[in-house]
Structure 1
Amino acid sequence: MAQIAYLLLSHKDAPAVIAQANRVTAAGDFLAIHFDARAPDGDYQQIVSELADNPRVVVTPRRVKCGWGEWSLVEATILAARAAIDTFPRATHFYMLSGDCMPIKSAEYCRAMLEAEDCDYIEHHDFHASDWIKTGFKEERLIYRHFFNERRNKALFYRSFELQKRLGLTRSVPQDLQIMIGSQWWCLRRETMQKVLAFTDRRRDVRRFFRTTWIPDETFFQTLVHHLIPRAELRNRTLTFLIFSDYGMPVSFYDDHYDLLLSQDYLFARKISPEALALKRRLGQLYTTVGMEFDISNEGRRLFQFLAGRGRVGRRFAPRFWEKESSIGRDRELLIVTCKKWHVAKRLVDRARQHTNLPGLKYLFDEEDTELPDLGGTQATLVKRTRHRRALMRMLFDYHDTDRLMICLDPSNLALMQDFESDRSTTRILEILCDFSDQYLEGHARRVGIAGQSTKAVTMSRLLPTIRADFQFESEAINAAGFTHLYRITESDTPDTNAGPLAEFLSIEPGAAQQIAASDHLFAD
């Protein structure tokens, strides 16, 4: 049976540390605590005193002063791991925690998950090949020696770096190691933990190297575990759920996030807000619950991206100068059909092609697998199509040997519509307004990943008005953009009413537009 020894690194809030210790040990697990030497001695003594009678808790007698980005965090982890191994011989797994972490599953569920596979859970991406580091230093973390703390001694940190860079004082990575990087919130088996500690004792050169790397808690264990353990026994993921904002800051969870957290495919969550007292109480009770089942939908990160993104509508990078100067062609006409229900727009384009013989391309800037001719690789990915949108459209006009071309666009692509509108060619836009039932919105939320199959009904009921409002906002933004040739047809109008704007959009006779508007099942889901 799996027995978990949690390794808790903490630097404040002695009462919260004590509560965390009582919580996990009440469920039969173990806890090794390293309390930062920078914290008051009185807090440390309080922890030691109040947990002295708990045989499932050990507090490291040696404390180090910890600093973000320093080797000291790795050293503190090693001290906690050694204490746990020596004190808890029955512990089978060692799980890293911080004081901001709380369980989002029961202890029973956690043990069952760890027993299901004989493996280690640790993120380990290739340091050089992956894009795990988004901004700032990358190779500089390794090839230069970092003696100062970037947050406490910023001037010395960068002065030392610039001096080494100017003098060419670089160093090599240990030749037998492939440097890996990932989250510091891992869960390792006992045998793996012992191998890592033994390797650390044996390879002083490796220890010296990582001692002066920058942010080694993201590389040290990740590299050593990858070096020591067969790939088949590694899972490249963390069991702790966390979200980072666009600015690289961890997102905090509050009292109303309880159901969301429980539905994620993780065992713990970070960071729980200090003010979320009700959430902490409920999660604390959850950990000792027996027989509870969890419906996993795992939509947390996508849901955050969707909701957080609503506040940034309209932001986009400025177009590159060669995109400004390029043109689809002065005498050409681009017909854009935009509709949130993609199948409706596709049907209309198919009907229009039958009546007009105009070439029509479907959601080429929204769907990766849209069928396109080979245009020298420009059409290969959505990123390339969007980056070289005018050049792509010019080639498509040439390929089809036409001066009039239809495409479909999602209403969220307002920036693309505005860019095409500003071109010297003529741009016509037909917006198709559809009715959206709650059932359709639920399906949309699941298709785009902001909800899962097991998302709670109460969560979905709160989400649907936001999605509906988002659709409405996109339509209003299109209306407010001031397009010269903008036409609308709606699901609620009759074919006779829709035929007028359709005839103007396609520049066809009213009779032909009437036939298209009256097509069977045009708006059907």
Structure 2
Amino acid sequence: MARIAFILLCHKDPDAIIRQAQSLTAVGDFIAIHFDGRAPDADYRRIRAALKDNDRVTFPKRRIKCGWGEWSLVDATLRTVQAAADAFPRATHFYMVSGDCMAIKSAQYARDFLDRRDCDYIESVDFFRSNWIATGWREERLVYRHYVNERKYRRLFYAMFEVQKRLGLKRKIPDDLEVMIGSQWWCLRRRTVEAVLAFAKRRRDVLRFFRTTWIPDETFFQTAVRHLIPGHEIDSRTLTFLMFSDYGMPVTLYNDHYDLLLAQDFLFARKISPHATELKRRLGVLWAAEGVRFRISNEGRQLYKFLAAKGREGRRFAPRFWEKESTLGRERELLIVICKKWHVAKRLVERIRQMTNVPCIEYLFNEEACDLPDLGGIEKSLAKRHRHRRALMRMLYDYYGTDRMVICVDPLNLDLLEDFGRDRAVTRMLEIECVFSDDYLVGHAMRSGLAGDRTPRETVDRLLPTVRNDILHESDRIRDAHFDHFHRMREADRPEANAQALQLFLGVTEAQALDLARTEHLFSD
């Protein structure tokens, strides 16, 4: 059975560290604690005194003064791992955590999880070919030497970099190493940890190299493990659930995140707010619980991305010169059906196609698999269709030999509506306002990746008002745009009222419009 030695790097809140150590060791696991050398000695002595009788707790012989982005973090980790390996011969796995981390599963579940596969869990992807570094320095982290802390001595840090750059003082990466990068929150087997410790003692050249790289806690272990362990024994992922904001900062978790955290396919989570006392209490109880069954839905990051984006207005990049000067054609007419329920719009345009012979294309800017003719490749992907939207539409007019066309658009695509609404062509819009039941909204959340089959009902119930308001917000934005030739039909209205909107939208006779409004099962889900 798996036994975990936790490697805890921390620098504050001694009472929380004591509680965390007591909780993790109460069920038979171990912990090695490195308390930052910059933190008060009194706090460190307090931790040592509180845990001195717990034989499942150990400390490295020396405390290192740590700084963000420095080798000191790796040095502290190596010393703490060595202390754990020496003190806990029964430990089978070594799991990196911080003072902000807490278990989101039971110890029983975590051990069963680790016993299922004989592998190391460490995010480890190619430093140069992956997109792990979204912005900022890449090669500069490695080929130049970084001797001081970027946050503490910012001007000196960048001055030293500029001097090296101007003098061409690049250095070589060790020939036999393929540098990898990934999250610093890993879980390694004992034999892997022992191999890394031996590697660190044997390869002083590698340690010298990483000592002056920038942010080595994201590269040293990731590179060493990949260098020492066969690839099929490495699962390139972290077992610690964490999310980042648009600004690259870790998202803080609070009391009301409990149900969401339990549904994620991870063993731990960071970063837990120091004020989330109820969440910490419940998670502490959970770690010691037995027989708990977890329903994994794993929608947390997608859900956060959806909720965090509410209220933000997106802007397109500056229009390309060929789009700015182009037009669909002053003599042409574009008829846009706007509806959140795609099946409703598709039923209506199918009837329009039958009654008027006007070419109708369903959600060409929303559905990858939309049936489009061969237009030389511009139609191959949604990205291309959006990027060259006017050129695509002109080619479709030419392909069908017509000056009138009907398309369907999701209300989310306000940028499309504004673009076409400003065109010299006559653009008419018909918004179909539907009634959204809770069952439909649940299905919509699942199709959007905001929920899954195993998402707890309580989480879904809390999500539904936000999804409903989001749909209403999309409709409000369209109305606030005040488009010319804009019409609306509603599921709640009588066919006669909807026929008036259809007649103005399509320019058909009153009888044809009423026939369309009476389309059988038009609004059925």
Letter in 2 for 1:208: R
Letter in 1 for 2:370: T
Shift of residue 316, structure 1, vs aligned partner: 4.2
Shift of residue 5, structure 1, vs aligned partner: 0.6
Q: Identity of aligned pairs, percent?
A: 64
Q: In 1, distance between residues paired with 2:348 and 2:176?
A: 61
1:34 aligned onto 2:37 = no
1:48 aligned onto 2:48 = yes
Q: In 2, distance between residues paired with 1:287 and 1:483?
A: 57
Describe the shift of the 1:165–1:371 C-alpha distance in structure 2 as closer, same or farther (beyond 3 A).
farther
Q: Which residue of 2 aligns with 1:140?
A: 140
Q: In 2, distance between residues paired with 1:173 and 1:329?
A: 58
Shift of residue 392, structure 1, vs aligned partner: 2.1
1:75-127 Cα deviation digits (max 9, x unpaired): 11111111111111111111110000011111011001011111111112222
Q: Which residue of 1 aligns with 2:103?
A: 103
Shift of residue 450, structure 1, vs aligned partner: 1.1
Q: In 2, distance between residues paired with 1:485 and 1:173?
A: 64
1:217 aligned onto 2:200 = no
Shift of residue 412, structure 1, vs aligned partner: 0.9
Q: Which residue of 2 aligns with 1:433?
A: 433
Q: Superposition pairs for residues 222-237 of structure 1, below 5 Å?
A: 222-237=222-237
Shifted more, 255-264 versus 448-457: the winner is: 448-457
Q: Which residue of 2 aligns with 1:442?
A: 442
Shift of residue 442, structure 1, vs aligned partner: 0.9
Shift of residue 315, structure 1, vs aligned partner: 4.3
Q: How high is the TM-score relative to the length of structure 1?
A: 0.97
The two structures, once aligned, show a CA RMSD in angstroms of 1.5
Q: Which residue of 2 aligns with 1:381?
A: 381
1:287 aligned onto 2:287 = yes
1:277-318 Cα deviation digits (max 9, x unpaired): 111111111111111111111111111111111121344444
Shift of residue 174, structure 1, vs aligned partner: 2.1
Describe the shift of the 1:84–1:491 C-alpha distance in structure 2 as closer, same or farther (beyond 3 A).
same
Q: Which residue of 2 aligns with 1:490?
A: 490
1:244 aligned onto 2:244 = yes
Q: In 2, distance between residues paired with 1:503 and 1:519?
A: 14
Letter in 1 for 2:398: D
1:366 aligned onto 2:355 = no
Q: In 2, distance between residues paired with 1:106 and 1:160?
A: 48
Letter in 2 for 1:184: Q
Letter in 1 for 2:279: L
- Secondary structure of residue in 2 paired with 1:312: coil
Shift of residue 177, structure 1, vs aligned partner: 2.1
Q: In 2, distance between residues paired with 1:374 and 1:85?
A: 63
Q: How high is the TM-score relative to the length of structure 2?
A: 0.97
- Secondary structure of residue in 2 paired with 1:310: coil
Q: Which residue of 1 aligns with 2:122?
A: 122
1:194 aligned onto 2:194 = yes
Q: Which residue of 2 aligns with 1:62?
A: 62
Describe the shift of the 1:76–1:422 C-alpha distance in structure 2 as closer, same or farther (beyond 3 A).
same
Q: Which residue of 2 aligns with 1:277?
A: 277
Q: Which residue of 2 aligns with 1:510?
A: 510
- Secondary structure of residue in 2 paired with 1:100: coil
Describe the shift of the 1:227–1:396 C-alpha distance in structure 2 as closer, same or farther (beyond 3 A).
farther
Q: In 1, distance between residues paired with 2:107 and 2:51?
A: 21
Q: In 2, distance between residues paired with 1:215 and 1:498?
A: 62
Shifted more, 506-515 versus 27-36: the winner is: 506-515
1:32-75 Cα deviation digits (max 9, x unpaired): 11111111111112222221111111111211111111111111
1:324 aligned onto 2:319 = no
Q: In 1, distance between residues paired with 2:198 and 2:436?
A: 61
Letter in 2 for 1:282: R
Letter in 1 for 2:290: V
Q: Which residue of 1 aligns with 2:178?
A: 178
Shifted more, 122-131 versus 154-163: the winner is: 122-131
Shift of residue 497, structure 1, vs aligned partner: 2.1
Count of aligned pairs: 525
- Secondary structure of residue in 1 paired with 2:488: strand
Letter in 2 for 1:450: L
Q: In 1, distance between residues paired with 2:223 and 2:381?
A: 33
- Secondary structure of residue in 2 paired with 1:476: helix
Letter in 1 for 2:507: S
Q: In 1, distance between residues paired with 2:351 and 2:293?
A: 50
Q: In 1, distance between residues paired with 2:255 and 2:83?
A: 34
Q: In 2, distance between residues paired with 1:522 and 1:361?
A: 18
Shift of residue 354, structure 1, vs aligned partner: 1.4
- Secondary structure of residue in 1 paired with 2:394: helix
Q: Superposition pairs for residues 455-466 of structure 1, below 5 Å?
A: 455-466=455-466
Q: In 1, distance between residues paired with 2:152 and 2:323?
A: 45
- Secondary structure of residue in 2 paired with 1:336: strand
Q: In 1, distance between residues paired with 2:451 and 2:223?
A: 35
Shift of residue 13, structure 1, vs aligned partner: 1.3
Q: In 1, distance between residues paired with 2:259 and 2:206?
A: 44
Q: Which residue of 2 aligns with 1:15?
A: 15
1:315-362 Cα deviation digits (max 9, x unpaired): 444434443222222222221111111111122122211112222222
Describe the shift of the 1:143–1:377 C-alpha distance in structure 2 as closer, same or farther (beyond 3 A).
farther
Shift of residue 523, structure 1, vs aligned partner: 1.3
Describe the shift of the 1:375–1:139 C-alpha distance in structure 2 as closer, same or farther (beyond 3 A).
farther
Q: In 1, distance between residues paired with 2:326 and 2:162?
A: 42
Q: Which residue of 2 aligns with 1:419?
A: 419
Q: In 2, distance between residues paired with 1:275 and 1:427?
A: 54
Letter in 2 for 1:54: N
Q: Which residue of 1 aligns with 2:499?
A: 499
Q: In 1, distance between residues paired with 2:330 and 2:140?
A: 50
Shift of residue 507, structure 1, vs aligned partner: 2.0
Shifted more, 85-94 versus 364-373: the winner is: 364-373
Q: Which residue of 2 aligns with 1:76?
A: 76
Q: Which residue of 1 aligns with 2:253?
A: 253
Structure 2 stretches lacking a partner, 5+ long: none
Q: In 2, distance between residues paired with 1:132 and 1:299?
A: 21
Shifted more, 239-248 versus 369-378: the winner is: 369-378
